Amino acid sequence: AEEIVLAQGSMKPVESIYQTVYESSDSSLQLIDQLAEKGETFDERSVNRTVLAESLERLEPRERQLIYCRYFKDMTQAATAAELGMTQVQVSRSEKKILGKLRKMFDD
């Protein structure tokens, strides 16, 4: 897994850790601020993202859709249910099952 992370990292353009990622009239946030807050090293974070991406690929398409709606599009269970033609209760139960499946994959 480490070799994969290194290979992927070498293909990405280099970014400054002092790059501004958010700016408003009274404050700004740099990339280094986000990295320091997380409590895990950059390498750990890269490995975790790679493992998560691989785990998501192993899900069934319908499961992946549900996770995408809930966590990447930040949709409510009710909105996800409407999008996928399910009930909110079905989304809730499926989400719990899928998250358990992802945790197991992540731990393996």
Q: DSSP per residue over 20-39, as a string?
A: EEEE-SS-EEEHHHHHHHSS
Mean pLDDT of the chain: 79
pLDDT of residue 12: 59
Are residue 99 and residue 49 in the same domain, yes or no?
Answer: no
Are residue 52 and residue 3 in the same domain, yes or no?
Answer: yes
- Of 43, 58, 73, which residue is a domain's last? 58
Q: What is the mean pLDDT of residues 1-18?
A: 62
CA separation for the pair 77, 88 (Å, rounded):
6
Q: Supply the range of the domain harboring residue 33.
A: 1-58
- The torsion angles phi and psi of 97, rounded to 5 degrees, stand at -65, -45
For the stretch 38-91, pLDDT in tens is 566 666 767 777 888 888 899 999 999 999 999 889 899 999 999 999 999 999
pLDDT of residue 87: 97
User: Residue 48: how many CB atoms within 10 A of its CB?
Assistant: 13
- Entry pTM: 0.58
- Read off the CATH number of the domain in which 96 is found: 1.10.10
Are residue 29 and residue 11 in the same domain, yes or no?
Answer: yes
- The torsion angles phi and psi of 22, rounded to 5 degrees, stand at -155, 140
Are residue 26 and residue 51 in the same domain, yes or no?
Answer: yes
Q: What is the mean pLDDT of residues 13-27?
A: 66
* Position 14 pLDDT exceeds 60: no
**How many folded domains does the chain comprise?**
2
Pinpoint the alpha helices (H) of the chain.
2-11, 31-37, 42-58, 61-67, 77-84, 88-107
